[in-house]
Structure 1
Amino acid sequence: MRMPTILFSLPLLATLSLPALADTDSPHVRLETSQGNIELELDAQAAPRTVENFLRYVDEDFYAGTVFHRVIPGFMIQGGGMDAELESQSTHAPIALEKSGIPNGRGTVAMARTSNPDSATSQFFVNLEDNDALDYRDLYNPGYTVFGHVVSGMEVVDAIAQTPTGRQGPHADVPREPITILGAKRLD
């Protein structure tokens, strides 16, 4: 008679422990910007090294004082590596591209990089539209690693996307008024 009770209890216990596991696999980060807050949910299961890298910068308070330096309406907003004078900030060594399997859809967050697939450091971007051309295809089209998505504050992202932009030195699509990341914090 006790056997069914034990069997019934084991799945119940497994279910009860899932939220704790989910919290580690899906950490949340709030980006406090001069335009408002953006909350991100990260996917450590799909892109563990990329999430670890991003959280390292968050924990070091690296993003405070950086700006969204590249804004292209209908495409994406990019930030996390330059200050208001567009001076690049010193970063850790680049990380290897991860094939997270998550498409570059509207509201997803991906790592920015150079033409070298294994060159991502601190810069990230938020997709304003579904950008299928940025997804992994093959070795010749490696795409960009998506590692999370916006869970609140997409209206802030959209407002940033409407900011007037221009050239600043060699950089194009720079907001005329700096949009600053005031801080980035893990949420419990």
Structure 2
Amino acid sequence: MKRFLGLTSGFIMAISLMAPHAIAGTKVELITNMGTLKVELNDQAAPATVANFLRYVDDGSYNGSIFHRLIPEFVVQGGGFDTEYKKLPTYSSVVNESNNGLKNQRGTLAMARTQDPNSATRQFYINLNNNQSLNAGRNAGYTVFGKVTLGDDILTKMAQVPTGMNMSLRARDVPKQNIVLQQVRRLNDEQASQ
């Protein structure tokens, strides 16, 4: 038994020494007309979702899109419409990975979807609060795949934008002032640390 514990402790120690490099995820910058957010994606916990999100980042189609839904103390949602409220093209939907252990907490990014758990495409949201009701449980939940590492003050600023009804979208909770994703891009290690 001692030998087993010794091997286990050594194995755990080796894992913990490797962990900082293994856990570090892809870094992305979201430059908005209200300021810049830096995010770290969790490639390990949500590999399909991160790959899906990065597909839109890499093809440049998030650039010029808007956050079209804003509910203070809940979420700000975007990536699916341009500034004229025209729906943007999508790739195939991605499988729901909401049982990955990540929670919908303030500053985390998650995929928006319809009632079908596997219907997420390009729209994502950022939690403005800890939203336990969006986590997997009795229902499928919404896949969390990253977190804001810089720009919490920008989220606070976004949450203060007045909202209302928008007839183009036939939706409530639409910001009365456009919150535009001017550029969304991957960051290398040097850019991420600036």
The one-letter amino acid of 1:60's match is D
Report how far residue 28 of structure 1 moved: 0.6
Partner of residue 73, structure 2: 74
Give the % identical residues: 44
1:36 aligns with 2:35: yes
1:157 aligns with 2:155: yes
Partner of residue 172, structure 1: 172
Partner of residue 128, structure 1: 128
The one-letter amino acid of 2:34's match is Q
Aligned pairs for 1:1-188 (under 5 A) are: 15=17, 21-23=22-24, 26-98=25-97, 99-138=99-138, 141-169=139-167, 170-188=170-188
Distance 1:33 1:149 in 2: 16
The one-letter amino acid of 1:65's match is G
Report how far residue 21 of structure 1 moved: 3.8
TM-score by length of 1: 0.87
Distance 1:94 1:22 in 2: 26
Distance 1:172 1:85 in 2: 16
The one-letter amino acid of 2:82's match is D
The one-letter amino acid of 2:100's match is S
Gaps of 5+ in 1: 1-10
Report how far residue 101 of structure 1 moved: 1.4
Report how far residue 79 of structure 1 moved: 0.5
TM-score by length of 2: 0.84
Cα 1:18–1:100 shift into 2, 3 Å: closer
SS of alignment partner, residue 70 of structure 2? strand
Cα 1:129–1:92 shift into 2, 3 Å: same
1:23-46 Cα offsets, whole Å, 9 max, x none, are 4xx111000000000011110111
The one-letter amino acid of 1:114's match is T
SS of alignment partner, residue 81 of structure 1? strand
Cα 1:37–1:18 shift into 2, 3 Å: same
Gaps of 5+ in 2: 1-12, 189-194
SS of alignment partner, residue 159 of structure 1? helix
Partner of residue 192, structure 2: none
SS of alignment partner, residue 67 of structure 2? strand
Report how far residue 19 of structure 1 moved: 5.5
Cα 1:101–1:19 shift into 2, 3 Å: closer
Distance 1:162 1:149 in 2: 20
Structure 1 runs (4+) greater than 6 angstroms displaced: none
Distance 2:107 2:22 in 1: 24
Report how far residue 70 of structure 1 moved: 0.2
Distance 1:43 1:147 in 2: 5
